[in-house]
Structure formats: C-alpha cells, structure tokens
C-alpha cells in the first residue's frame, strides 16, 4: 500500500510526459483538479458524456494519448 505524504505542499503524484521527457509533481487535490479540467474539456468537445465513469487513466489516455502516465510518489516525502 502506498503511503501519501502528510507534509502539506509536498507532492503526492508525479505525471510523466514521455514525448518530451518532462514530469510534474501534484498534490492529490491538484491532480484531481487537473484531471477534472481535462474531463471538462473532453465533455465540451463532445468526445464524452459528462456522466461517463472514466477514471484518471481513461481521461488522461483520451486527452493525451500514450504520451503521459502518472504514479503515486512513495511516502513519506522528507
């Protein structure tokens, strides 16, 4: 089981971009907001229905293709 960081402001999730080799760190709440924004973009573009039960992986795959993947940061972060 992955333990998330209890330290405020430290990342819980890392998002990797395979296309350019970059990565970004997110808190759990910030990552959920990022994915929800992508989901809203997909809804606005008519690619999905707003009530589709897509998880993080599904939304990222539809919005970014195979270019990105994410994982939980090992904790605790010191």
Overall domain count for the chain: 1
Beta strand 68-72 with 22-26 is unpaired
Q: Is 32 domain-assigned?
A: yes
> What Å distances lie between residue 10 and 17, 20, 65, 71, CA to CA?
20, 24, 27, 15
At residue 62, the pLDDT reads: 94
Q: Is 3 domain-assigned?
A: no
Q: What is the pTM of this model?
A: 0.78
- For the CA atoms of 56, 58, 60, 65, what is the dihedral angle to 10 degrees? 160
Q: Is 2 domain-assigned?
A: no
Question: What domain range includes position 31?
Answer: 13-72
What is the rounded distance in angstroms from the CA atom of residue 3 to the CA atom of residue 78?
13
What is the chain's mean pLDDT, rounded? 85
Q: Is 8 domain-assigned?
A: no
Q: Is 1 domain-assigned?
A: no
With a cut of 50, say whether residue 1 has pLDDT above it. no
């Amino acid at each position: 089981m992955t333990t998330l960081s209890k330290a405020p402001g430290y990342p819980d999730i890392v998002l990797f971009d395979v296309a350019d080799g970059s990565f970004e760190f997110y808190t759990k709440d910030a990552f959920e907001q990022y994915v929800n924004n992508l989901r809203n973009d997909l809804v606005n573009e008519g690619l999905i229905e707003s009530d589709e039960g897509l998880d993080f992986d599904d939304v990222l795959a539809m919005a970014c293709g195979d270019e990105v993947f994410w994982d939980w940061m090992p904790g605790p972060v010191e």
